[in-house]
Amino acid sequence: MSEHDQFRELLEAHALNALDASERAALEAHLATGCPECVTALEEARYLVSQLAYLAPPAEPSEMLRARVLRTARAEASPAQRPKEPARTSTAIPYWLWVGVAALLLLSVYSTWNARKLQAEVAEVNQRAAAELTQREKLEHELMVAKHEAWILTDPASKKIAIWPNDKEMPMIEARWHPKMGIYVTGDKIPMPKDNKVLQLWLISKNGKPMPSHVFWPDANGKIGEMVDDPPEVLAQTKALAITEEPAGGSLQPTSTPMWVGGVS
Partner 1 sequence: MFLAALTPKYGDDVSSDATLVVQLLHRDVNAFEQLYDRHSRIVYALVLRILQQASTAEEVVQDVFLQLWRNAGQYQSDRGPFVPWLLTLARNRALDHLRLKSERQRRREDQTEELPAIAKAPEYEKALDEKRRAERVRSLIGTLSAPQKKAIEMAYFEGLSHSEIANALQEPLGTVKSWIRNGLLRLKEGLQTAS
Contact residue for partner 1 among 5, 76, 85, 167 (CB under 8 A): 76
DSSP per-residue codes, 78-121: -GGGSPPPPP--TTSS-HHHHHHHHHHHHHHHHHHHHHHHHHHH
Q: Does 33 contact partner 1 by CB under 8 A?
A: no
Q: How far apart are CA 160 and CA 131, in angstroms?
A: 38
**At its nearest, how many Å lie between partner 1 and the CB of residue 32?**
13
Q: Burial code of 115-130, b = ≥16 C-beta within 10 A, e = fewer?
A: eeeeeeeeeeeeeeee
Nearer to partner 1, 22 or 265 (CB): 22
**At its nearest, how many Å lie between partner 1 and the CB of residue 69?**
5
Q: Does 43 contact partner 1 by CB under 8 A?
A: yes
Q: Does 136 contact partner 1 by CB under 8 A?
A: no
The region of 18-26, 115-123, 129-137, 210-218 touching partner 1 under the rule CB under 8 A is: 18-26
Q: Does 25 contact partner 1 by CB under 8 A?
A: no
Q: Which of 205, 202, 203 is nearest to 215 (CA)?
A: 202
Nearer to partner 1, 6 or 112 (CB): 6
Q: Does 197 contact partner 1 by CB under 8 A?
A: no
The region of 47-55, 107-115, 124-132, 221-229 touching partner 1 under the rule CB under 8 A is: 47-55
C-alpha dist (Å) from residue 265 to 40, 41, 162? 154, 155, 11
**At its nearest, how many Å lie between partner 1 and the CB of residue 71?**
10
3 state SS of 175: strand
**At its nearest, how many Å lie between partner 1 and the CB of residue 106?**
47
137: left (phi over 0), alpha (psi -120 to 50) or beta: alpha
**Alpha helix locations (H) across the chain?**
3-8, 11-16, 21-31, 36-50, 63-76, 95-154
Q: Does 236 contact partner 1 by CB under 8 A?
A: no
Contact residue for partner 1 among 5, 60, 85, 169 (CB under 8 A): 60
Q: Does 172 contact partner 1 by CB under 8 A?
A: no
Site string for partner 1, 142-161 (x = CB under 8 A): --------------------
H or E element: which one contains 211? strand 210-216
Q: Does 265 contact partner 1 by CB under 8 A?
A: no
Q: Does 4 contact partner 1 by CB under 8 A?
A: no
The strands making up 173-178's β-sheet, listed across from edge to edge, are 210-216, 198-205, 238-246, 260-263, 159-165, 173-178, 182-187, 224-228
Where do contacts with partner 1 occur on this chain (CB under 8 A)?
9, 12-13, 16-20, 40, 42-62, 65-66, 68-70, 72-74, 76-78, 80-81
